[in-house]
A = this chain, B = another copy of it.
């Protein structure tokens, strides 16, 4: 039921890593849709070893590094989870939408600020994705590439939708309040 373990197993399935490296790699690869903190990583690595899903080997150098590797049992547990249907996620909370929903209580200028910042965030995300896409060309032969690209395209699609929505909503906030436009006497 705990999903952190599968994120770690998935990463270890690609290559053995230390806890520290797992954190970095998670950030740079699945960072736009998944996050883990050390407070989770280290205890769960210990668990995985206890359950026989991973092994540790302490590097005999001075810097003290514990390199974790996936076992066959770990790989089959990973596969089991990968195939298992996804429990319909309860809606994650969206603070922007909540503020907008209650928007009648505050000035339109304040709401526009939220929307502009959201659009900027979407643009920044899209720029990041473009950079990643370029970097991924180096992996042309990697069998993982199609899957990595699919997650990237998800991000692109959603961020484009958000940006379009923000633009549209900014326009709507400027448009005449409702119904007939206030007719000027002529």
Contacts and interface: CB of A to CB of B under 8 A. Distances in A.
Count this chain's copies in the assembly: 2
Given A98-B10, A147-B101, A91 B32 contact: yes
Interface stretch (A49-57, A58-66, A154-162): A154-162
A35 B90 contact: yes
A83 interface: yes
User: Size range of the interface on A?
Assistant: 35 or more
Contact of A150 (B7, B33, B35, B172): B172
Nearest to A145: B178
A168 interface: yes
Contacts of A83: 106-107, 110
A157 B147 contact: no
Interface in A16-39: 29-35
B95 A92 contact: no
